[in-house]
């Protein structure tokens, strides 16, 4: 018995009704003629305005009072359309979609199957009258250009959906969607940005304080999941991201995130075990902390502060212990800057011109080592602190406020190096920075560079390294309006980049919508950044947290003396 031909299969009879975009390129002449006749009748009998190349499936229920469709707009089988509907060119209403009420859409709006866009609502104000007899209200729905609406989405009356946005499958959209946003959930909220706006905060109808509080509530709710996904119960260690090797920093980032969002240490290990483990990693002779091998084996380090990774652990492990109510067991050897003369030689030899970020990082670690030695009761070699601050106070450039010479347009490394140098010195000792107004000028100039501050190019390092300088110089009142404007824009982008259940990636999502990989480092840094920006804007108290670790805003020496 010969097989049936494709044309004779019953599934082919209505294929254009369910895949209408194929109709005008593949349908036989007879079907095309009948579609033209149907559209002409709708124009004459109902007054519909239908563009060139449209397709309206006879299997749809089209009962509009008025209907305006742009060129190449399609309505598939099972769709139910009522009310006053206007759609631009190249739109698609997919099968079993409901579009009812006073609705306006722009060009290139694609609506997934089984979606409901309902521009009216029942009145429910009188509890003594059945809802069916209380009438309807209608505000209308407006949808911009180039919008993708996934399957099973619900859009409620009164909503405006901005152009180039995406409504993820299953979203229940109850309030306006900003341009370029990707929203999802019930009720829908911004998950990330397809096209980041120039000022996402300004485009929101929610107050800045409410946005900050909403973010913090969400982050606290999901904090346990953020930590658990990076925990390896076999090794008993955290990794920055699932599948990565454990690092010393990851253990410390986990402690800081838990402190910020959960108000205590991670629950994966008892507190005393966490303290004992961190303290056991410190070398008793150098006071430094080593690192893990790729298999999770801890490797001690007999080195000095010129070893960048071991020196950074002075910060990360020191602050983690501080958050747990403990401290290093042994003093930190300041070599090769272990005398006043050595400090001066060491600072002079730093690569301030070639690599100011590296120079600032070294100063950060030296100043933090001095801080822990002070707080641990060990003290520092005579004259070392005076030599450090004397050098920095006398070597800052009065024109820029920086220590690195600025003889080019790219300010990233000089500004980032300034932040690192200040964090462990002026910041932790509570000493005012030199030339603060010039620092503001330099940082604002740097923020105008789209190479680093276009929304899709942001990363935690670059944003933190401008947020902190603007915060620490805030009392000058210099160019406050500009500082506030920049802070609002950066805060909006930061809030939008939280990835549900996984935290923040180090970098912003890529321009093509690709997702950056979330991890503990990115999460800890962005949480601190958000606090600094929110505090500049006067709404930090709505976060319900204040950084107390590596990126804390309070001078450690003053904090511990209270």
Give the domain CATH number at 32: 2.160.10.10
Res 203 pLDDT > 50: no
194 band by pLDDT with thresholds 50, 70 and 90: confident
Is 201 within the bounds of a domain? no
Lowest-pLDDT choice from 51-55, 127-131, 239-243, 500-504: 127-131
Rounded to a whole number of angstroms, the distance between the first and last alpha carbons of the chain is 94
Question: Region 246-259: what's the mean pLDDT?
Answer: 97
Give Cα 39 to chain centroid, integer Å. Answer: 47
- Global pTM value: 0.69
Is 236 within the bounds of a domain? yes
199 band by pLDDT with thresholds 50, 70 and 90: low
Q: Residues of the chain with pLDDT > 70: what percent? A: 94
**CB-based contacts of 143, cutoff 8 Å, min separation 6:** 103, 104, 105, 106, 109, 117, 149, 155, 160, 161
Joined tokens for residue 215: 């973010």
Q: Residues of the chain with pLDDT > 90: what percent? A: 76
In angstroms, rounded to a whole number, what is the distance separating the alpha carbons of residues 25 and 379? 82
Is 1 within the bounds of a domain? no
Q: What is the pLDDT of residue 558?
A: 64
* Structure-model confidence comparison of residues 474 and 3, the more confident one: 474
In angstroms, rounded to a whole number, what is the distance separating the alpha carbons of residues 419 and 303? 25
Res 200 pLDDT > 60: no
Q: What is the pLDDT of residue 120?
A: 93
**Contact call for residues 167 and 177 (beta carbons, < 8 A):** yes
Give Cα 192 to chain centroid, integer Å. Answer: 7
Q: What is the pLDDT of residue 125?
A: 85
- Report pLDDT digits (tens) over 209-238: 999 999 999 999 999 999 999 999 998 999
In angstroms, rounded to a whole number, what is the distance separating the alpha carbons of residues 343 and 388? 6
Q: Is 51 exposed, middle or buried (0-12, 13-18, 19+ CB in 10 A)?
A: middle
Is 511 within the bounds of a domain? yes
Question: Region 105-126: what's the mean pLDDT?
Answer: 93
Question: Region 431-437: what's the mean pLDDT?
Answer: 95
233 and 190 in a common domain: no
219 and 284 in a common domain: yes
Lowest-pLDDT choice from 340-349, 363-372, 550-559: 550-559
**Domain final residue, candidates 148, 166, 195:** 195
CATH number, position 357: 1.50.10
Res 205 pLDDT > 60: no
Q: What is the pLDDT of residue 181?
A: 86
In 438-547, beta strands by DSSP E: none
183 and 45 in a common domain: yes
Q: What is the pLDDT of residue 3?
A: 44
Residue numbers of the domain that contains 92: 6-195
347 and 470 in a common domain: yes
186 and 215 in a common domain: no
In angstroms, rounded to a whole number, what is the distance separating the alpha carbons of residues 430 and 559? 10
438 and 327 in a common domain: yes
Res 483 pLDDT > 60: yes
Joined tokens for residue 136: 């309807």
Q: What is the pLDDT of residue 4?
A: 45
Give Cα 367 to chain centroid, integer Å. Answer: 31
Is 370 within the bounds of a domain? yes
**Domain final residue, candidates 195, 230, 264:** 195
Res 192 pLDDT > 80: no
153 band by pLDDT with thresholds 50, 70 and 90: very high
- Report pLDDT digits (tens) over 505-530: 999 875 544 557 899 999 999 999 99
Closest to 227 measured CA to CA, from 527, 540, 6, 1: 527
Is 227 within the bounds of a domain? yes
Lowest-pLDDT choice from 169-178, 314-323, 402-411, 495-504: 402-411
- Report pLDDT digits (tens) over 81-95: 999 999 999 999 999
* Structure-model confidence comparison of residues 476 and 331, the more confident one: 331
198 band by pLDDT with thresholds 50, 70 and 90: low
**CB-based contacts of 10, cutoff 8 Å, min separation 6:** none
544 and 515 in a common domain: yes
Is 166 within the bounds of a domain? yes
556 band by pLDDT with thresholds 50, 70 and 90: confident
219 and 179 in a common domain: no
Res 388 pLDDT > 80: yes
Closest to 424 measured CA to CA, from 468, 473, 383, 463: 468
**Domain final residue, candidates 195, 219, 240:** 195
218 and 187 in a common domain: no
Q: Could you give the number of structural domains in the chain?
A: 2
- Report pLDDT digits (tens) over 443-473: 999 999 999 998 888 999 999 999 999 999 9
489 band by pLDDT with thresholds 50, 70 and 90: very high
330 and 464 in a common domain: yes
The mean pLDDT of the chain is 91
428 and 362 in a common domain: yes
186 and 229 in a common domain: no
- Report pLDDT digits (tens) over 372-386: 999 999 999 999 999
Closest to 529 measured CA to CA, from 465, 448, 484: 465
Is 204 within the bounds of a domain? no
């Amino acid at each position: 018995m010969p097989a049936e031909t494709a044309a004779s299969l019953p599934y082919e009879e209505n294929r254009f009704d369910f895949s209408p975009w194929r109709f005008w390129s593949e349908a036989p002449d007879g079907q095309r003629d009948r579609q033209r006749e149907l559209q002409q009748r709708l124009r004459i009998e109902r007054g519909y305005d239908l563009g060139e190349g449209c397709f309206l499936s006879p299997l749809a229920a089209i009962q509009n009072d008025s209907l305006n469709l742009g060129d190449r707009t399609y309505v598939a089988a099972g769709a139910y359309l009522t009310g006053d509907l206007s759609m631009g060119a190249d739109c698609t209403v997919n099968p079993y979609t409901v579009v009812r009420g006073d609705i306006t859409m722009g060009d290139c709006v694609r609506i997934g199957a089984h979606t409901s866009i309902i521009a009216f609502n029942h009145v429910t104000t009188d509890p003594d009258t059945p809802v069916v007899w209380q009438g309807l209200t209608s505000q209308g729905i407006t949808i911009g250009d180039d919008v993708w609406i996934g399957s099973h989405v619900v859009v409620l009356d009164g909503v405006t959906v901005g152009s180039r946005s995406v409504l993820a499958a299953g979203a229940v959209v109850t309030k306006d969607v900003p341009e370029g946003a990707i929203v999802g959930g019930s009720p829908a909220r911004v998950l990330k940005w397809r096209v980041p706006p120039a000022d996402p905060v300004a485009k929101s109808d929610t107050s800045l304080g409410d946005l900050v509080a909403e973010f913090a509530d969400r982050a606290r709710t999901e904090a346990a999941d953020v930590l658990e996904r990076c925990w390896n119960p076999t090794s008993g260690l955290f990794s920055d991201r699932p599948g990565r090797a454990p690092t010393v920093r990851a253990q410390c980032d986990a402690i800081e995130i838990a402190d910020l969002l959960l108000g205590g240490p991670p629950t994966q290990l008892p507190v005393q075990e966490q303290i004992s483990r961190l303290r056991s990693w410190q070398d008793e002779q150098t006071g430094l902390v080593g690192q893990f091998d790729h298999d999770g084996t801890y490797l001690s380090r007999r080195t000095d502060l010129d070893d960048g990774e071991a020196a950074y652990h002075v910060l990360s492990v020191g602050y983690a212990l501080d958050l747990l109510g403990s401290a290093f067991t042994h003093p930190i050897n300041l070599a090769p800057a272990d005398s006043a003369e050595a400090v001066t030689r060491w600072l002079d030899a730093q690569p301030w011109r070639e690599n100011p970020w590296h120079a600032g990082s070294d100063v950060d670690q030296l100043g933090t080592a001095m801080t822990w030695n002070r707080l641990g009761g060990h003290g520092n070699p005579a004259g070392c602190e005076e030599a450090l601050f004397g050098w920095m106070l006398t070597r800052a450039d009065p024109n820029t406020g920086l220590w690195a010479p600025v003889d080019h347009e790219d300010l990233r490394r000089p500004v980032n190096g300034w932040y690192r140098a200040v964090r462990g010195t002026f910041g932790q000792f509570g000493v005012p920075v030199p030339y603060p107004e010039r620092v503001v000028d330099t940082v604002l100039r740097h923020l105008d560079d789209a190479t680093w501050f276009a929304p899709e190019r942001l990363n935690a390092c670059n944003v933190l390294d401008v947020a902190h300088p603007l915060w620490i110089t805030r009392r000058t009142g210099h160019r406050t309006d500009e500082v506030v404007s920049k802070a609002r824009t950066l805060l909006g982008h930061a809030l939008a980049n939280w990835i549900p259940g996984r935290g923040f990636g180090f970098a912003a999502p890529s321009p093509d919508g690709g997702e950056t990989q979330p991890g503990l480092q990115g999460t800890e840094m962005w949480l601190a950044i958000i606090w600094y920006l929110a505090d500049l804007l006067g709404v930090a108290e709505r976060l319900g947290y204040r950084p107390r670790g590596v990126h804390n805003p309070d001078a450690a020496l003053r904090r511990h003396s209270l």
